[in-house]
Structure 1
């Protein structure tokens, strides 16, 4: 997906960065990954100061603008935590919105050890009571996870098993929002491209516009799911059974969340790629298939 380059940013946004970092901008490197539009760049000034810049204009990019706007609000609420990059400042003028965040030198997780580092880091997040004003996870999930009534055998991600199990999938998904609800701070978009692993192997969680009050294990479940797409040899059931972030979670709760997200991904994968990149539709199709295959394995054993 094309990012906004430095030459497309107004002088006022560049000045905002230079004022915050205390020097002339000498390095600007857009990052890959993610599905939102706009600038997402590591920047450096002549004095060696660094930051991570997100910037977008509202016109033509309303969705991304709203995401960045919400991320400013969320980052302003989060207390200083060891491995969550801090908001350095934001700029909103003439339709432009920019936020400068602490830069973290790191790479995306790509090993099982990295996955465990991320799951461990979830257990260090502060109490949601320390982050007043967060929405409940149900506000985002309720409309998304109840799509089975709109789906039939014609959807591309549906196979014979899914078609024959539609009533069971629908019934399980009706419990998804309740299962994902809770009193933990959840990132609510915990994908590998929203994680950076630093030189010491510690996991930093970035991109917080969807943060909410919910159940911590729900974040962890979807992250393990994404990791299994990168490394199909990961035993997802073993991870659920062995890591303390999943302690006390029932099979029925896991089934409910998986069935709910399956409905979302099956439905979204077949929507026109008009205002989103085609790669997002492909991502949604892959997730639909992986979740349905996971549910088939889980239910066939019972």
Structure 2
């Protein structure tokens, strides 16, 4: 599923006051190529300066979506202060005027994964290499921040069949109980990206995996991002054996079976609950995407519940 919003603003929508400030950070911008993918309502553009320098610029107008401005500010702070490792882009600077805020980062030349055989393993390898972190950097702790967000099954009580499919109804109580274990499942001391979709990952020409868009960074178990990426890969129909990867890839070495099921159940409830709400302004495709992610996680969680040994 294409993650384009169809409502992204273009570089030409930026006011001269902001482009002047971006120029003060980078040098005079002589060309800009707007990028369509992602769910932000603002500008995302690859730019070239008069001296041949390159950068990636994301900008948002608080009058259109103040939440996107907040995310850009948060990402700039994280890129500037947290040791994310070589997979993350380097922060170049920020620029703002009365209404707009822009973050300027290293431009990464690469392709999104899913095109070539072996891409999934490359991505899992990169996620496995994310560094451990202490709480000293002020990042949210996933066991606290995400646990509440993943209690969607309690919000879905009494929801109609167009929200929870009939084939999943017989597992509803089990899935809700599994999701209640998310807080314990997410405990850990690893850096987490928390939004590992294919459009947030680039593979450079030499095969190096780079991970972009870091406003949701947190601290938690080292396999959460990898599981999230496998959900995305299943949703996109990649020809991979996700269950085999759970058993074989070292990123999942410390993941207990019940914890994986708990996170899948929690994500399913979270996305299905979000998907039934009105779409945010200028993001008409977001809820459709969340429902697709939710159904993918739900299918996988149900498969695991059905295979689990029965206790007397």
Matches within 5 A, 1:26-45: 26-45=30-49
After TM superposition, the score normalised by the length of structure 1 is: 0.94
Cα offset for 1:232? 4.3
Contact 1:136–1:214, Cα closer than 8 Å, also in 2? yes
Moved over 6 A (4+): none
Count of equivalent residues: 301
- Tell me, yes or no, if structure 1 residue 140 matches structure 2 residue 140: no
Change (3 A) 1:80 1:140: closer
The 1-side partners of 2:307 and 2:144 are apart by 33
CA-based RMSD of the aligned residues comes to 1.8
Q: How does 1:122-133 map to 2 (within 5 A)?
A: 122-129=127-134, 132-133=137-138
Structure 2, unaligned runs of 5 or more: none
Q: Distance in 1 between matches of 2:239 and 2:127?
A: 23
* Greater mean deviation of Cα atoms: 138-147 or 44-53: 138-147
- Verify the 8 A CA contact 2:22 2:95 in the aligned structure 1: no
Which runs of structure 2 are paired with 1:120-269 in the superposition (5 Å)?
Answer: 120-129=125-134, 132-151=137-156, 152-269=158-275
Superposed CA deviations along residues 191-214 of structure 1, whole A, max 9, x for unmatched, are: 111000100111100000000111
Superposition deviation, residue 298 in structure 1: 1.5
Question: Does 1:21 pair with 2:41?
Answer: no
1:67-86, aligned counterparts within 5 Å?
Answer: 67-79=71-83, 81-86=85-90
Residue in structure 1 matched with residue 16 of structure 2 by the alignment: 11
Which one is further off, 282-291 or 65-74? 282-291
Q: Is 1:59 matched with 2:63?
A: yes
Verify: 1:281 aligned to 2:287, yes or no: yes
Deviation for aligned residue 1:89: 0.4
Gaps of 5+ in 1: none
Rounded Cα–Cα distance in structure 2 between residues aligned with 1:136 and 1:6 = 35
- TM-score calculated relative to the size of structure 2: 0.91
8 A Cα contact 1:185 1:212, kept in partner:
yes
